[in-house]
Structure 1
């Protein structure tokens, strides 16, 4: 397997775009090569098989969605109250919806994971670790609420994001900030 990290990342980014646009059935090495603008056969030099490509694409989505350290530090300046949680959740929804193809690719990967045990294992580990990291961050920074608060926010906001990306006419964009704030008010203790 090739080890050029920049090329691997570009191929994974191409795989994400293909997954979002074509679905998991459209994800082939040839489609990834074409999307990345590289010679045919390049992706097969970086990934052992389609399962490897799928699992690494899932990891890449999370890599691209994570805020950087400076963003996290800036977000935590000021009081640790419900208003701060509203601000953080609005930022999260905006960041995720801006990476539309990544979120849609992740939905495709989740569906594919119901048929591929190895992918399911990898996604369960990655998504479970991400959720646990969110719980630890929330509790460690002194934001109001407990682990269940974080899980409920995770569930509510993920569906809001899915709705916005797949059926945007159901919930108009101008309602998103209001709905995020209301979800936080109802879930996070005062």
Structure 2
């Protein structure tokens, strides 16, 4: 099968969409949102640019879906939902190091949404998803977080750690800060 066959209306269009979204995530993370065009995404995926429009309809929809896909991949790979405090965010640094484009894309889209250039609802939904995953861990280890404030604070710390890790690029520093965050969570249990 050629790369275009899987991206049409027949064939494996779900994986075709995923390849287009992955191309958009990579371009957006490496070069910025302004570089995410139908032609650039199509070229990266090896298809005609009309297929990008066919699958997403608009650039805004492409960006929104790429943002959601990046967020889902990041939360899965970073272990925000864990069975213990020790496991919480245990693959955070590894996840950032292997796919640094995804958080950059998310920060870029978040800033664009705050400025009014993209829908803020998409960003809010993803933040709520992240916080809900943190909340699963928090409540699972015995912390009463009925109003979700503790989970929101823990996620805010993680969100800041993502940015700091991208700035400092120091695994040991980030791991130390994660351990400090885990210690704060342990104190909430006591």
Verify same fold: TM over 0.5: yes
Change (3 A) 1:57 1:116: farther
- Among 5, 28, 33, the residue aligned to 1:24: 33
Q: Distance in 1 between matches of 2:176 and 2:126?
A: 30
Say whether 1:47 aligns with 2:46: no
Higher relative contact order (CA 8 A, sep 6+): 1
Q: 1:92 to 1:163 in 2, by over 3 A?
A: same
Q: CA RMSD of the aligned region, Å?
A: 2.7
Contact 2:25 2:105 in 1 (8 A): yes
Per the TM alignment, residue 118 of structure 1 is displaced from its structure 2 partner at its CA by: 5.5
Q: Unaligned regions of 5+ residues in structure 1, if any?
A: 77-83
Please give the secondary structure, in 1, of the residue aligned with 2:49.
Answer: coil
Residue matched to 1:81: none
SS of 2:88's equivalent in the other structure is helix
User: Mind listing any 5+ residue stretches in structure 2 that lack a counterpart?
Assistant: 1-7
Mapped to 1, the partners of 2:131 and 2:93 lie a distance apart of: 15
1:163-182 to 2 correspondences below 5 Å: 163-165=164-166, 167-168=167-168, 172-182=170-180
1:112 deviates by: 1.5
Q: Summarize deviations over 1:9-40 as a string: whole Å, max 9, x none.
A: 10000000010111111111111111112223
Aligned residues: 176
Alignment-derived partner of residue 141 in structure 2: 142
1:104 and 1:11 map into 2 onto residues whose CA distance is 18
Matched ranges for 1:28-177 at <5 A: 28-67=37-76, 75-76=82-83, 84-116=84-116, 119-139=119-139, 141-144=140-143, 146=145, 147-165=148-166, 167-168=167-168, 172-177=170-175
Contact 1:17 1:101 in 2 (8 A): yes
TM-score when scaled to structure 2? 0.79
How far does residue 145 in structure 1 lie from its aligned partner after superposition?
Answer: 6.0
